[in-house]
């Protein structure tokens, strides 16, 4: 295991001679193992070492037991120690965050308050696996599937390739005692459920599960880092006086574009970016125009060949558009469409996505929905507003302006993408010319 830790430190350039390292020391097996290992490097004069313990004041006597254990361990091994006592329950109420999130924030504040240039925390391979499984259950991208990063800023995790079994073996071999947090034994927390119930099943399927999962997470980690580098390079090359050249953004792969937009938005708002906003902004880049509201104070806009975030003086009006039907392909913000005409006796398409050409008045248009739009769908005996129809279908408000509506010159709703034709324009035995609406897949770099 010692070789495994040294390899991790070397692979990710975690330590250099003379580093001042603060170790998060809870007293549990993981942190005991980490502190003991680093104390050997300290003894050889390679690094300066300091332990940092944070008493969250959540578990009463058990928390005091942990603090006393930490003090005694550091005395035994002659390790400098800083102890912080913080009322996390009260602090979480003041910050309006969960106990877990508040504890994490406070811990790193304490770690950063000591005079050290590196912070070593004892996350392990087992912790990373649990995190990945939890993220997968919630739905995640590459970043969430790559697990806990070995290095983030000045934070290093030398044990990230070691399993919990490795840690316990190390403690046993070196006669190291440790304390156990009773909250880790309960299945009241999702992470514990994964630890106690899911992981054992996966190990029973493949005894090498942890080693295989490490290879998987490293591969994803490398892919994610590469895409992040590509995104950073594109942001730099497309930047012009607070805006980003649309011609550079629209030709890039959507995997990179998604990261570019997230970085642009987060740098302006200084907060996590919602996935729905990213996807809407991608649509704007593809379409070449439009605005998405990010917050009450900011909007993402695509205009005059540039994409940019700007202040919003008022709530932007929903995107409205109206595009005449072309002879071949009609390109719209709601998709690309072909209207194929054929005599009734040659028609073989779906009636739900077809209409009687002779029932339409004048020219045809694809457009966004209007406030007074109604439709009487086939096989339904009532007329319904598009607003109510979209509500019943639980379509997010920000996506409704992108749903294509086919209408005639008198603004009659003929067909709505995803719902079908209005019964007034339905194909019947009396129909002479049938128009079939075909939505085609865009030829872009989507994955």
CA distances from 424 to 16, 164, 255, 379, 416 (A): 76, 67, 43, 12, 13
Per-residue tokens: 46: 């390679």
What is the chain's pLDDT, residue by residue, as a tens digit (447 residues)? Answer: 899 999 999 999 999 999 999 999 999 999 999 999 999 999 999 999 999 999 988 888 888 999 999 999 999 999 999 999 988 899 888 888 888 889 889 999 999 999 999 999 999 999 999 999 999 988 888 988 999 999 999 999 999 999 999 999 999 999 999 998 766 655 556 778 898 899 999 999 999 999 999 999 999 999 999 999 999 999 999 999 889 999 999 899 999 999 999 999 988 887 778 888 898 899 889 888 888 888 878 889 998 899 999 886 554 445 688 899 988 888 888 888 999 999 998 888 888 999 999 999 989 999 999 888 999 987 776 788 998 889 888 888 778 888 999 999 999 999 999 999 999 999 998 999 999 999 987 654 444
How are beta strands 374-375 and 155-156 bridged, if at all? unpaired
Which CATH fold would you assign to the domain 2-205?
Rossmann fold (3.40.50)
Please tell me the class of the 322-440 domain: alpha beta
Burial of 122 (0-12, 13-18, 19+ CB in 10 A): buried
Q: Which helix (H) or strand (E) holds 292?
A: strand 290-293
Please tell me the class of the 241-311 domain: alpha beta
- Contact yes or no for 80/51 (Cβ under 8 A): yes
Domain ranges of the chain: 2-205, 241-311, 322-440
pTM of the model: 0.65
Burial of 3 (0-12, 13-18, 19+ CB in 10 A): exposed
């Amino acid at each position: 295991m010692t070789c495994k830790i040294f390899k991790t430190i070397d692979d990710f350039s975690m330590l250099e001679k003379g580093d001042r390292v603060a170790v998060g020391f809870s007293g549990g097996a993981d942190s005991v193992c980490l502190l003991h290992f680093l104390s050997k490097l300290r003894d050889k004069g390679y690094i300066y070492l300091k332990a940092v313990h944070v008493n969250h004041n959540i578990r009463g006597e058990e928390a005091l037991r942990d603090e006393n254990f930490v003090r005694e361990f550091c005395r035994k091994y002659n390790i400098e120690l800083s102890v912080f006592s913080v009322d996390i329950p009260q602090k979480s109420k003041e910050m309006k965050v969960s106990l877990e999130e508040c504890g994490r924030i406070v811990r790193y504040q304490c770690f950063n308050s000591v005079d050290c240039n590196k912070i070593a925390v004892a996350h392990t391979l087992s912790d990373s696996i649990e995190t990945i499984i939890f993220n997968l259950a919630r739905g995640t991208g590459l970043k969430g599937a790559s697990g806990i990063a070995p290095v983030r800023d000045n934070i290093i995790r030398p044990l990230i390739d070691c399993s919990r079994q490795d840690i316990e073996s190390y403690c046993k071999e070196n006669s190291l005692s440790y304390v156990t947090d009773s909250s880790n034994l309960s299945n009241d927390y999702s992470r514990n459920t994964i630890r106690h119930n899911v992981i054992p099943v996966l190990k029973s399927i493949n005894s090498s599960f942890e080693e295989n999962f490490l290879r998987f997470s490293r591969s994803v980690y490398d892919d994610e880092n590469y895409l992040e580098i590509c995104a950073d390079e594109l942001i730099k090359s497309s930047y012009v006086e607070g805006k980003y050249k649309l011609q550079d953004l629209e030709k890039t792969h959507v995997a990179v574009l998604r990261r570019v937009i997230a970085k642009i938005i987060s740098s302006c708002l200084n907060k996590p970016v919602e996935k729905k906003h990213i996807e809407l902004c991608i649509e704007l880049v593809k379409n070449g125009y439009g605005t998405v509201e990010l917050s009450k104070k900011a909007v993402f806009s695509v205009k005059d060949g540039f994409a940019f975030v700007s202040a919003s003086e008022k709530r932007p009006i929903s995107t409205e558009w109206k595009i005449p039907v072309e002879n071949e392909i009609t390109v719209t913000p709601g998709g690309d469409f072909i209207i194929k005409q054929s005599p009734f006796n040659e028609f073989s398409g779906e009636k739900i996505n077809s209409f009687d050409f002779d029932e339409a008045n004048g020219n045809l248009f694809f457009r966004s929905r209007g406030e007074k739009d109604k439709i009487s769908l086939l096989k339904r005996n009532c007329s319904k507003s598009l607003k109510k129809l979209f509500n019943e279908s639980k379509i997010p408000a920000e996506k409704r302006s992108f749903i294509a509506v086919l209408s005639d010159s008198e603004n009659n709703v003929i067909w709505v993408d995803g719902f079908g034709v209005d019964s007034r324009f339905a194909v019947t035995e009396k129909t002479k010319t049938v128009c079939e609406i075909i939505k085609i897949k865009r030829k872009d770099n989507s994955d």
